[in-house]
Amino acid sequence: MSLYGVQKAVFDAIRAGSTGGCAGAPGTSGQLTEAEAALLERQDLRGLFTAGVHPVLINAYARSIGKARDEYREILAGTLAEQNREVRWRR
């Protein structure tokens, strides 16, 4: 399945108020590959992030499964390389 499909499954899980992976996401579990479904069933935030799921969806999904900000921040630590760049608004 495409990245869009995985993100849609995460979004559907959030909307359904799911705390048990993709089981609460109606109509999406049959469209995912086994690996993608396993990420949702395991509630693998790091795996979803590295698969390309948008950080805003990761944030909402983490909160829907009961993870505090500090918890999922620790889980995702080291997934992004430090970027030292000057942003326009700081000039």
Backbone angles phi, psi at 59, to 5 degrees: -60, -50
pTM: 0.72
* CA atoms of 64 and 88, how far apart (whole Å): 34
* CA atoms of 41 and 60, how far apart (whole Å): 16
pLDDT digits (tens, 9 = 90+) for 21-54: 454 454 555 688 999 999 999 999 999 999 999 9
- Between vectors from CA 53 to CA 51 and to CA 59, what angle results, nearest 5°? 130
**1: nearest Cα among 29, 43, 41, 42:** 29
Per-residue pLDDT at 91:
61
Domain positions in the chain: 3-76
Per-residue pLDDT at 1:
62
Per-residue pLDDT at 66:
92
Structure tokens at 23: 């089981």
Cα-to-chain-centroid distance, residue 59: 7
The CA dihedral of 54, 65, 76, 80, to the nearest 10 degrees, is 10
